[in-house]
Amino acid sequence: MSYNILIWNARGVANKSTQSTIKYLIKTHRISVFAIIEPLIKPKPDVFSRIFGLQYKGANKNGQIWIFAENGMEVDEFDDSEQVLHGRVSTDILLAPFYLSVVYGKCTREARLPLWDKLRELAVQCEGLPWLVGGDFNIFVSDEERQGASIKKKRTREMTYFANAINDCQLLDLGADGAKFTWARGNTLERLDRALIGEGWTDMFSSTRVTNLPRVMSDHGPLLIQCQLPGPPIRPPFRF
């Protein structure tokens, strides 16, 4: 059995075509938890729960990150900040809850400093627990994760801050199938969206696969995270 998570900087959800795309992705990939980044409108829980077929669970303080989950799944114990919406996800099927931090990083190096501090704070709380961090970080970790006109601009310090935060939090980058870059504007391509896991994540899920889905209706591609629960042990056939 798997739990599939979808995280997408959709650049607005008022558009009917964007809503239809989200509905299609949720149905096609059997999404259990959906996080939308940069909705550009105020939350309308009843309206969007009906449209997406998932239950609205909450938003961060500036309304830039929303979380939805399927019926029977709870998301609570929120830690709410401008760049992270963190919560505990639980269901009767899981033996224990897991923790999800959805990130929407600011566009400048200085503005992202509170994000790295918040992740370090959450890492202490989630030490040894199943913890997934994913979203739009608005920065990458190496020059190999971008190409195009902007590559002439050196961003070494920004990349170092991000890499140090990943290391300090003892997070593992899962990599991704699909497109190498998750964001595009003109001829500039960058990997701004990713998923990271804490040390305790593999204690709950036997495998986790990340796929960068094609960009549509946004300059960011959706991030699909498929988390496989361990199956029952296979008994060897009886032999006399």
Q: Which residue has the higher pLDDT, 62 or 149?
A: 62
Q: Which tens digit of pLDDT belongs to each residue from 29-80? A: 999 999 999 999 999 999 999 999 999 999 999 999 999 999 999 999 999 9
Identify any residues that bridge with 87 across adjacent strands, giving them in sequence order: 100
Res 89: pLDDT: 97
Res 171: pLDDT: 98
Give the model's confidence band at 149: pLDDT under 50 very low, under 70 low, under 90 confident, else very high.
Answer: low
In angstroms, the CA 151 to CA 102 distance is: 27
Identify any residues that bridge with 195 across adjacent strands, giving them in sequence order: 134
Contacts of 120 (CB under 8 A, 6+ apart): 165, 168, 169
Q: Sign (positive/negative) of CA torsion 134, 38, 115, 215? A: positive
Res 236: pLDDT: 46
In angstroms, the CA 190 to CA 186 distance is: 11
| 233 pLDDT more than 90 | no
Give the model's confidence band at 239: pLDDT under 50 very low, under 70 low, under 90 confident, else very high.
Answer: low
| 235 pLDDT more than 60 | no
| 130 pLDDT more than 50 | yes
Q: Is 148 left (phi over 0), alpha (psi -120 to 50) or beta?
A: left
What CATH number is given for 2-228 in this structure?
3.60.10.10
Res 231: pLDDT: 66
User: Structural domain boundaries of the chain?
Assistant: 2-228
Res 93: pLDDT: 85
Query: 27-31: long-range contacts (C-beta < 8 A, 24 or more apart)?
Result: 27/53, 29/4, 29/224, 29/226, 30/2, 30/4, 31/4, 31/5, 31/6, 31/70
Record the pTM.
0.94
| 122 pLDDT more than 50 | yes
The whole-chain average pLDDT of the chain stands at 93
| 6 pLDDT more than 50 | yes
In angstroms, the CA 226 to CA 5 distance is: 6
Share of residues in the chain with pLDDT > 90 (%): 89
Res 65: pLDDT: 98
Q: Which tens digit of pLDDT belongs to each residue from 178-202? A: 999 999 999 999 999 999 999 999 9
Q: What is the mean pLDDT of residues 158-185?
A: 97
